[in-house]
Amino acid sequence: MLNVADLSVRYGAIQALERVSLEVPDQTVVAVLGSNGAGKSTLLRAVSGTHKLHKGRIEHGTITHDGQRLDKLNPAATVARGVVQVPEGRRIFGRLTVEENLRAGGMGVKNRRQPPARDRVFELFPRLQERRGQLAALLSGGEQQMLAIGRALMAQPTLLLLDEPSLGLAPQVVEQIGEIILEINRQGTSVLLVEQNASMALRVADLAYVLDVGEVSLHGTAEELAATDKVQRLYLGHSADEHGGSGGAPAAKAPRRSVARLSRWAG
Amino acid sequence: MSFFLELLINGLSVGAVYALIALGFVIIFKATEVINFAHGSLLLLGGYTISELTPETNFYLALLVGLTVTALGALFIERILALRIRTANTNTLAIMTIGFDVVLTADLVRRIGVDPRSLFDPWKNDTVQVIGVTIPLTRLVAIGSAVVLLTAFFLAFKYTSWGVAMRASAEDAEAATLMGIRRGRVAAVAWIIAGVLACIAVVFLVAFPTPGLDGSVIPVALKAFPAAILGGLDSTAGALVGGLIVGVAEQLTLGYSSELSFLGRGFAEVMPYVIMIIVLLIKPSGLFGTREVSRV
């Protein structure tokens, strides 16, 4: 179980997170929704220990995973503890082959665990097995996202942190990514999913949080949140009819779409 | 014809040695984005250590100690730079390496004294006949050693965990960090390898037919710098090709200097830099420098 308590993170003069508390119970998928600049990526960076690479500083609060403090660990030690992040924008190693990318993903843990981890990744993503010898830069966007997830799974995480996995992908591919998240979760890995695509996120998540300019403004089960006025208006009105999300708003929301989009960007 | 062949073999031999040095520049740059201007002094450190020890023991033992000392020297500089690598600009760190270079070189040159030293390598001034051409044995040993070392390096770079970690880290340091790859370790290994290669290189740079080890080996070694740049500073293959181009061009210019006298005397000295400038004008990232392979 991941426990974020009263976390404040600052980049120089910019307060990115303000007293954020959040829990990811074992075996669950937890979604964090929020617009650009709400602090979603900062939250994941603080958990994985990479906020320092962006000159971020934890001012206040703690992050614990199964009783162990993560906020004092370096990124490599966090990976070794089974908490692994898939970065926003995929960030696969384009000049390495698919297989080398996976190998790089397994480097945070002991080598002898690699073959079963790779078999599991290939089972989950048969496309990667077909293309194992290819340069990763030549994969399609959806395949690159699968590789980014597969690469993180090579470290056999107990908690997977996903930063905007739907970014820039076609609706069918986003659906597929949603299925994959559910499957990874069924196999016993908890997932902390940061998303702007609320309909996909709420469909796969058990619990959800809404971040608003660095603070948690709403939280509850995914169903509860999907039913709230605010989430419907700000997050689902825009995307529900595009992706047909089951937990989402009715398609009749179409006339309100432009309004919703405006307020979303304005926020 | 045999004169040309002689120059060509000499050029390949000198070029192979430049390639070893250039490869050091390249892997340090790939691992840390810092250009190591202290490379020349590290090389001198290796040569000095060997020249001190060979008379006491034997050449191979001295070489082994020399390799260790050079590797540790490189690691020392890396550890100092690592203190600031997260916060300092890489240009600042490159200038710090110039500082190390000046200090270390000054001390070593003082210790070496006025007369060039011999490393007492076992090949002495022997020569061999190859396809009708007389070649110093050291030149052939240099080619052989470079081929073995470069092959070993490229295999390691392609297949070992360090190689994969190094390439991943060079391409996207943050993503590599997220995978649990420790960039500091990757960098430390890169500096150690660069130090080892530099120490091997110095043995051949000061062997017969050159006069021996003194401070003047540094400008010679730094011809590997245009070699690395013209090959592409982030390309290991570029270091190899750049080294060979510089070596061959230099030896040919030297050999045909009377025909090339219109260029002025001693043009061989500047030839590597002239080639570098021409290559950079045509291909600013060097021959094999990064060009993104990506789907449009």
Domain over A2-266 is classified CATH 3.40.50.720: no
Q: Please give, rounded to a whole number of angstroms, the shortest distance from the CA of B89 to a CA of chain A.
A: 14
**Which sequence spans correspond to the domains of chain A?**
2-266
Mean pLDDT of chain B: 91
- What CA–CA distance (Å, rounded) separates A253 from B248? 73
B139-166 pLDDT per residue, tens: 999 999 999 999 999 999 999 999 999 9
Task: Note the maximum CA span of chain B.
Answer: 63
* A120 CB-near residues (< 8 Å, 6+ apart): A153, A187
Beta strands per DSSP E along chain B? 127-130, 133-136
User: What average pLDDT does range A22-48 have in this prediction?
Assistant: 93
What is the pLDDT at residue A33? 93
What is the pLDDT at residue A111? 60
Q: How many CB atoms lie within 10 A of CB B141?
A: 18
B174-214 pLDDT per residue, tens: 999 999 999 899 999 999 999 999 999 999 999 888 888 99
User: What average pLDDT does range B6-20 have in this prediction?
Assistant: 94
B80-114 pLDDT per residue, tens: 998 887 778 888 999 999 999 999 999 999 999 88
A160-196 pLDDT per residue, tens: 999 999 999 999 999 999 999 999 999 999 999 999 8
* Chain A residues lying within 8 Å of B294, measured CB to CB: 94, 137-138
Whether A138 contacts chain B with CB within 8 A: yes
What is the pLDDT at residue B293? 43
Q: Please give, rounded to a whole number of angstroms, the shortest distance from the CA of A76 to a CA of chain B.
A: 4
A186-222 pLDDT per residue, tens: 999 999 999 988 999 999 999 999 999 889 999 999 9
- What CA–CA distance (Å, rounded) separates A229 from A233? 6
Q: Testing the interface with A: which of B179, B186, B290 to mutate, by most A Cβ within 10 A?
A: B179
Residue in chain A closest to B159 (alpha carbons) equals A100
CB contact under 8 A, A108 and B172: no
Whether A135 contacts chain B with CB within 8 A: yes
**Which sequence spans correspond to the domains of chain B?**
2-213
Q: Please give, rounded to a whole number of angstroms, the shortest distance from the CA of A160 to a CA of chain B.
A: 12
Which residues in chain A (143-172) have CB-CB distances under 8 A to chain B?
151-152, 154-155
Look at residues B296, B111, B126, B101 and name the one whose alpha carbon lies nearest to residue B207.
B126
- Find residue A8's DSSP bridge partners: A60
User: What average pLDDT does range B272-290 have in this prediction?
Assistant: 91
Residue of A75, A137, A138 lying closest to B178 (CB–CB): A75
What pTM was computed for the model?
A: 0.87
Which residues in chain A (21-50) have CB-CB distances under 8 A to chain B?
48, 50
A50-100 pLDDT per residue, tens: 998 888 999 999 999 999 999 999 999 999 999 999 999 999 999 999 999
Q: How many CB atoms lie within 10 A of CB A169?
A: 21
Q: What is the ipTM of this complex?
A: 0.86
Residue of A52, A104, A109 lying closest to B164 (CB–CB): A104
* Chain A residues lying within 8 Å of B165, measured CB to CB: 104, 107
Q: How many CB atoms lie within 10 A of CB A61?
A: 18
